[in-house]
Chain A
Amino acid sequence: MHINDTVQASYKAVTAHRMRSVLTMLGIIIGVGSVVLLVSVGRSFERYVLDQVESFSSHLIEIYPTGFEKFGRSLDSLSFSDYEAVTQLSTVESVAPVIFVTEKVVYGTEEISPMVFGTTNKFFANYSLNLEQGRLLNESDIKGARSVAVLGYQAAIDLFGDRDPLGERIRVGKRFYTVVGTMETIGSALLQDLDTPVYVPFTTAKAQTGQKYLSYMTMKASIDDDNLVVADITSLLRQRHGIENIDNDYDKDDFRARSASQATEIVGSVGLGLTIFIGLIGGISLIVGGIGIMNIMLVSVTERTREIGLRKALGATRQDILRQFLIEAVALTMIGGVIGIVGGASLGALIAAVASKFVGTVPFVLSIPALLAAALMALATGLIFGIFPARKAASLSPMEAIRWEG
């Protein structure tokens, strides 16, 4: 029998029993659909997180102290001279020191407890923060340790509501600051914490708190390879702190230098783990779907015993029958696979579109490898679970099959 005829015979069998065919395919549709859906949604949100992080933190590097806090005192391993030394490195630029002022911020009757960053104007550039009105902190604010403050977008709203904050005086702890600028919103649900801080000059914060060490430092790598810069900083600070650490055990250090790209790698690796996990669940549902196919195909073989007997009586060979039933099983799984792929991808795109309305642009990522894997799995399911019923059909004796009363 020619392969075209076999395909046509299978096609007729599939379309002649539409309801049964659809029910048979359902397992595959759900299996493939859920794999495609979950992987695309996972990938889309991973992409979303990475985009968000990368948008404000390209080549961003942070150094912060580590270790145990001693009796209520903050970690004090990062000194001002460490800051001076890091500034001298040729691989970094735009180094901004930070001292946190842990005080409440008050204006009139409004009182908030934001992060108060004592820093320099380089800080804003490092995090891609943009001014909305007024001005940023400048050199003379730092040199003169002036009592001026820049408000994050949310901090300005919380303290002033609709009023214009510029020129107003706010109180941080016991000290009064004049508001000289407000920041634009980051515009991201994921990173909305970046809208809440209050920024004051580094020198003023140092004077107010009396702190002799840095809360942390932030900077940009001036070369492409962030990891190289992190290694550079780490070896400089180990040397300065007298730490011998050839096995690179971060627990032995009293500080940690980390690039934002390392953070995104962590997001990526979590995403990959999740994708594999989702793929496994999808694989299991495909096996379940495949057993469903086998089940229905076996029923179909029994139900069509007379037809098989007839075809054999008319001259069909074992091969012909085997191929017909195998193609039928594969056709069912492939049609189911295509419906599942289209359905899963559409639903994924819909979810990304809906999410975009709430949390900022969520790009829809269609994972091509996941699609191919799903299609291949559907094909393999058809072949593996179709072969047994097909062999059963092919081995029927024509004489017994034709007399079969079922």
Chain B
Amino acid sequence: MPKKKTSPTVPLIETQSLTKSYFSEELETPVLHGIDLTISEEEFVSIMGPSGSGKSTLMHILGFLDQPTTGKYLFRGEPTRTMTDDELAAIRATRVSFVFQAFNLLPRTTVLDNVMLPLLYHPTIPASERVERSMNAIKSVDLEDRALYYTNQLSGGQQQRVAIARALVTSPDVIFADEPTGNLDSKSGNQVMEVLQDLHDEGGRTIILVTHEQSTAAHAKRIIHLLDGNVSSDTKQFTQINAKKNNNLKK
């Protein structure tokens, strides 16, 4: 197991008393009740909890898809509450990326075009580098021979790997994976987890994995348990599952 590198003085992600409530016709439904979290660069963290625990809501806030109701969210020490829609869009374009449970690839579109999609919205990466960067990302998930296939011609596991390539292509600070194995059989799920572990162990990527399954969560190095909108535990004391070993066993 590779040793954790030097911890930066400013954490990548820091929340202080973060709350989130949904409002419908005067009715307030609190989902998060004051979350205090710190996640550093190059961590591989699982956010785990049963449905309704607020884990997805927390991921949306941390991924700049949603804003907290109260509390602070500091990204690299920068407060994010006052950011405009366009600033949030710019952060999503450059700093974070997502792997979704339902893959969310564009149908009738090639693997290459799908992976290239985030680069269209990237403010600084020049258009001339798009294909090369995308091909590199596709190679890193072992799908270079499928680059010109339409995504609907691929298996679920392959589609999720395309989605991971798409998440890699902008070299973001953090990758959010929301139930990435939820729509996959155990074998494909395992392969996807192997890719994610490789990205962290060998690529040094920061990954935040959101799941309700202990067996999936245990692929990370740290598990944050959420229950009813509160952090119920935050631990590194567990046996990490090695996806590569599992894959080899299954073969």
Q: Does A360 contact B (CB under 8 A)?
A: no
Chain B nearest Cβ from A1, distance in angstroms: 5
Chain A nearest Cβ from B170, distance in angstroms: 8
Compute how far the CA of A236 lies from the CA of B106 in the bound complex, rounded to whole angstroms. Answer: 85
- Known: A2-B127, A402-B100, A402-B104. Is A316-B121 also a contact (CB below 8 A)? yes
Chain A nearest Cβ from B86, distance in angstroms: 5
Chain B nearest Cβ from A358, distance in angstroms: 50
Check if A313 sits within 8 Å of B92, measured CB to CB. Answer: yes
Stretch at the interface among A284-292, A303-311, A363-371, A379-387: A303-311
Contacts of A307 in B (CB 8 A): 106
- Known: A16-B109, A399-B65. Is A314-B100 also a contact (CB below 8 A)? no
Within 101-118 of B, Cβ neighbours of A (below 8 Å) are at 102, 104, 106, 108-109, 113, 117-118
Compute how far the CA of A353 lies from the CA of B248 in the bound complex, rounded to whole angstroms. Answer: 77
Chain B nearest Cβ from A321, distance in angstroms: 10
Our pick among A9, A12, A314, A320 for the contact of B97 (Cβ within 8 Å) is: A314
- Known: A307-B106, A402-B104. Is A317-B85 also a contact (CB below 8 A)? yes
Chain A nearest Cβ from B61, distance in angstroms: 9
Compute how far the CA of A317 lies from the CA of B63 in the bound complex, rounded to whole angstroms. Answer: 15
Q: How many residues of A contact B (CB 8 A)?
A: 24
Most central of A12, A312, A317, A318 by chain B CB within 10 Å = A317
Q: Does A111 contact B (CB under 8 A)?
A: no
Q: Does B241 contact A (CB under 8 A)?
A: no
Check if B98 sits within 8 Å of A315, measured CB to CB. Answer: no
Our pick among B100, B102, B122 for the contact of A315 (Cβ within 8 Å) is: B122
Contacts of B122 in A (CB 8 A): 315
Within 43-79 of B, Cβ neighbours of A (below 8 Å) are at 60, 63, 65-66
0/1 interface trace, chain B 152-173, chain A, CB 8 Å (1 if under): 0000000000000010000000
- Known: A399-B65, A399-B66. Is A314-B108 also a contact (CB below 8 A)? no
Check if A9 sits within 8 Å of B85, measured CB to CB. Answer: no
Compute how far the CA of A179 lies from the CA of B166 in the bound complex, rounded to whole angstroms. Answer: 97
Chain B nearest Cβ from A303, distance in angstroms: 11
Chain B nearest Cβ from A286, distance in angstroms: 30
- Known: A9-B120, A12-B109, A399-B66. Is A315-B104 also a contact (CB below 8 A)? no
- Known: A318-B86, A399-B65. Is A313-B127 also a contact (CB below 8 A)? no
Q: Does A97 contact B (CB under 8 A)?
A: no
Compute how far the CA of A28 lies from the CA of B97 in the bound complex, rounded to whole angstroms. Answer: 40
Q: Does A5 contact B (CB under 8 A)?
A: yes
Q: Does B89 contact A (CB under 8 A)?
A: yes
0/1 interface trace, chain B 112-139, chain A, CB 8 Å (1 if under): 0100011011100001000000000000
Q: How many residues of B contact A (CB 8 A)?
A: 28
Chain A nearest Cβ from B250, distance in angstroms: 32
Chain A nearest Cβ from B122, distance in angstroms: 7
Chain B nearest Cβ from A311, distance in angstroms: 7
Chain A nearest Cβ from B55, distance in angstroms: 13
Check if A313 sits within 8 Å of B109, measured CB to CB. Answer: no
Q: Does B143 contact A (CB under 8 A)?
A: no
Compute how far the CA of A305 lies from the CA of B86 in the bound complex, rounded to whole angstroms. Answer: 19
Chain B nearest Cβ from A19, distance in angstroms: 13
Contacts of A309 in B (CB 8 A): 104
Q: Does B90 contact A (CB under 8 A)?
A: yes
Our pick among B66, B109, B121, B127 for the contact of A311 (Cβ within 8 Å) is: B121
Q: Does A336 contact B (CB under 8 A)?
A: no
Nearest residue, chain B, Cβ from A17: B108
Compute how far the CA of A21 lies from the CA of B173 in the bound complex, rounded to whole angstroms. Answer: 39
Our pick among B65, B86, B109, B117 for the contact of A398 (Cβ within 8 Å) is: B65
Contacts of A311 in B (CB 8 A): 117, 121
0/1 interface trace, chain A 1-44, chain B, CB 8 Å (1 if under): 11001000100100010000000000000000000000000000
Q: Does B184 contact A (CB under 8 A)?
A: no
- Known: A1-B121, A313-B65, A315-B118. Is A16-B108 also a contact (CB below 8 A)? yes
Most central of B65, B66, B86, B113 by chain A CB within 10 Å = B65
Q: Does B93 contact A (CB under 8 A)?
A: yes
Q: Which residues of B contact A (CB under 8 A)?
A: 60, 63, 65-66, 85-86, 89-94, 97-98, 100, 102, 104, 106, 108-109, 113, 117-118, 120-122, 127, 166
Q: List 27 A-B contacts (CB under 8 A).
A: A1-B120, A1-B121, A5-B127, A12-B113, A16-B108, A16-B109, A306-B104, A309-B104, A312-B89, A312-B92, A314-B93, A315-B89, A315-B91, A315-B122, A316-B121, A317-B85, A317-B86, A317-B89, A317-B90, A317-B121, A318-B86, A318-B89, A320-B89, A397-B65, A398-B65, A402-B100, A402-B104
4 nearest interchain CB pairs? A315-B93, A315-B121, A399-B65, A317-B89
Given A312-B92, A317-B89, A318-B86, 13 other A-B residues pairs in contact with their CB atoms under 8 A: A310-B100, A314-B92, A314-B97, A314-B117, A315-B90, A315-B91, A315-B118, A316-B93, A317-B86, A318-B89, A319-B86, A397-B66, A398-B92
